[in-house]
């Protein structure tokens, strides 16, 4: 499945402008043959927007979700994107996957909040594994800091995730996560990992870019730099099956030795 990563911080504070950026990226990705476009964490609204997070938060089936469903259907491409989700009085840092026909396939709420900024504005989710079937692959959703917990990613591996999509707001000085950790996560869990980051200065944060699609062999199939980019690579089910056959990590586990970690 050809997968496009939109490395961009969009236009923080402007949902309308970010929907336009997403629409233009969907057109470019679809023209390049991509079946999935992934956008960063909090792409819909911007990340470092303070109290505007609560003001701009929407339900999973809100107006913006409808607009993105229309974009997906018009361009014939599935879209995964980050946004602040309102559920009554609660706001979550969420990611949603919408199919190429505009169907809402999966919605995930970030389970591990990073730093005081996120804890001040969001309530953590409680469901670590959220998946959907897309073009013959089991696609899982996770957000940024979540992928830095090996138990989280291993839970996806044991649940059969083939492609883990990780909308991200990775900031300086933690670029080693994109550079080193993500390929290792893909290798040790025998899956593809699409890690799609914001980029540039936004409020007090400097987002480092370096978005990457890593394969189950630990190789970065495509990697962005430190500017706004659309990068594209393939998640190949046949290669994944062969890699899982050759790599015994998951088969050689001994859960009885790990106690509660397993």
Q: What is the pLDDT of residue 136?
A: 94
Pairwise CA distance, residues 202 & 217, whole Å: 34
Pairwise CA distance, residues 105 & 99, whole Å: 6
Q: What is the pLDDT of residue 119?
A: 97
* Catalytic annotation, pick one of 58, 85, 118, 144: 144
Q: Is 41 in the active site?
A: yes
Q: How confident is the model at residue 259 (pLDDT cuts 50, 70, 90)?
A: confident
Q: What is the pLDDT of residue 262?
A: 66
- Continuous segment of H or E residues that includes residue 207: strand 205-208
> Is the torsion defined by CA of 100, 94, 234, 241 positive or negative?
negative
CB under 8 A, 24+ apart: contacts of 217-223 = 217/187, 217/243, 218/183, 218/184, 218/186, 218/187, 219/183, 220/182, 220/183, 222/5
* Catalytic annotation, pick one of 58, 110, 118, 202: 110
Residue 207 has pLDDT above 70, yes or no: yes
pLDDT tens by residue, 81-104: 999 999 999 999 999 999 999 999
**What are the structural domains, with CATH classification, of the chain?**
2-261 (3.60.110.10)
- Continuous segment of H or E residues that includes residue 81: strand 78-87
Average pLDDT on 96-114 reads 98
Average pLDDT on 60-77 reads 98
pLDDT tens by residue, 175-202: 999 999 999 999 999 999 999 999 999 9
Q: What is the pLDDT of residue 177?
A: 97
pTM to 2 decimal places: 0.97
* Catalytic annotation, pick one of 41, 58, 85, 202: 41
Q: Is 110 in the active site?
A: yes
What percent of the chain has pLDDT above 70?
100
Average pLDDT on 230-238 reads 98
**Over the chain, what is the mean pLDDT?**
97
- Continuous segment of H or E residues that includes residue 234: strand 229-234
Give percent helix, percent strand, percent coil of the chain, each to the nearest 5. Answer: 35, 30, 35
Average pLDDT on 140-152 reads 97
What percent of the chain has pLDDT above 90?
96
């Amino acid at each position: 499945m050809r997968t496009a990563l939109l490395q961009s911080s969009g236009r923080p504070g402007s949902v309308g402008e970010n929907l336009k950026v997403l629409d233009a990226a969907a057109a470019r990705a679809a023209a390049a043959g991509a079946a999935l476009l992934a956008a960063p964490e909090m792409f819909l609204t911007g990340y470092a927007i303070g109290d505007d997070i609560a003001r701009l938060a929407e339900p999973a089936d809100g107006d913006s979700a409808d607009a993105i469903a229309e974009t997906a259907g018009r361009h014939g491409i599935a879209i995964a994107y980050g946004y602040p989700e309102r559920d009554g009085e609660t706001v979550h840092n969420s990611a949603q996957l919408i199919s190429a026909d505009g169907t809402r396939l999966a919605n995930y709420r970030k389970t591990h909040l990073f730093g005081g900024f996120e804890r001040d504005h969001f309530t953590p989710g409680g469901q670590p594994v959220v998946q959907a079937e897309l073009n013959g692959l089991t696609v899982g959703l996770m957000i940024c800091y979540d992928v830095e917990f090996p138990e989280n990613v291993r839970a996806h591996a044991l649940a059969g995730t083939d492609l883990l999509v990780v909308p991200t707001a990775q900031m300086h000085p933690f670029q080693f996560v994109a550079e080193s950790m993500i390929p290792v996560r893909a290798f040790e869990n025998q899956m593809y990992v699409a890690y799609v980051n914001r980029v540039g200065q936004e409020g007090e944060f400097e987002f480092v870019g370096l978005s990457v699609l890593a394969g189950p062999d630990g190789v970065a199939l495509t990697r962005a730099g430190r500017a706004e980019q659309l990068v594209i690579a393939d998640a190949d089910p046949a290669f994944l099956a062969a890699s899982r056959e050759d790599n015994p990590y998951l088969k050689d586990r001994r859960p009885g030795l790990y106690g509660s970690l397993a």
